[in-house]
Amino acid sequence: MIQISWLGDFWTDDGRARHLLFILSEDAEMNELKRPKDSLWIGLLAMVAFILWGLWVNWEYGLASRIQVAVTQGVVSLFSTVFSAELIVWLERRFRHFKKGTLITGAASWVVFYSMIWGAHVLAGTPELLPTMLPGMIIGVFFCCGYAYRVARFRSC
């Protein structure tokens, strides 16, 4: 469905009024559905990367601990990344009208994201908690803010 929106009048240098119409090719509901659809692939990439990181950081604690950390890192990274990407899409819809909506979306999703990851590692008994989580926390800031920016740009196209 094509919508025509009225944007108003403007005056030219010679004093004549010009009418400005804006034609949208999609209706508002269709624009709400526009979003990146790659959260599962991003989650799988995160799973592989953080399994390897968890193994390397906890290598000295024995095979049982390495397996436990690798499984925890893999499962948590997959689900938290997919959840975080979906949370960013949801939050962007709510905060896009704010002046700093993209920044709010990125920061809020990062806090939720790393609260979940911290809780999972505490429950799993990860021996080196901060060294295990710190690289992901740093990468997570860039992921959450970058994906929030990407979702906002994707929706505006």
Give the pLDDT score at 117: 78
- Are 52 and 111 contained in the same domain? yes
Q: By three-state DSSP, how is residue 24 classified?
A: strand
- Are 54 and 70 contained in the same domain? yes
Indicate whether this model's pTM tops 0.75: no
- Are 18 and 47 contained in the same domain? no
**Angstrom distance (rounded) from CA 110 to CA 117:** 10
Give the pLDDT score at 22: 42
14: domain range?
A: 1-33
- Are 141 and 87 contained in the same domain? yes
Q: For residue 8, give both structure tokens.
A: 């108003």
CB 121 within 8 A of CB 72: yes
pLDDT digits (tens, 9 = 90+) for 15-44: 555 544 444 444 444 355 567 777 888 889
C-beta neighbour count of 32 within 10 angstroms: 11
Please give the residue that has the higher pLDDT: either 115 or 28: 115
CB 69 within 8 A of CB 50: no
- Are 79 and 21 contained in the same domain? no
Sign of the torsion formed by the C-alpha atoms of 124, 127, 131 and 132: negative
- Are 49 and 88 contained in the same domain? yes
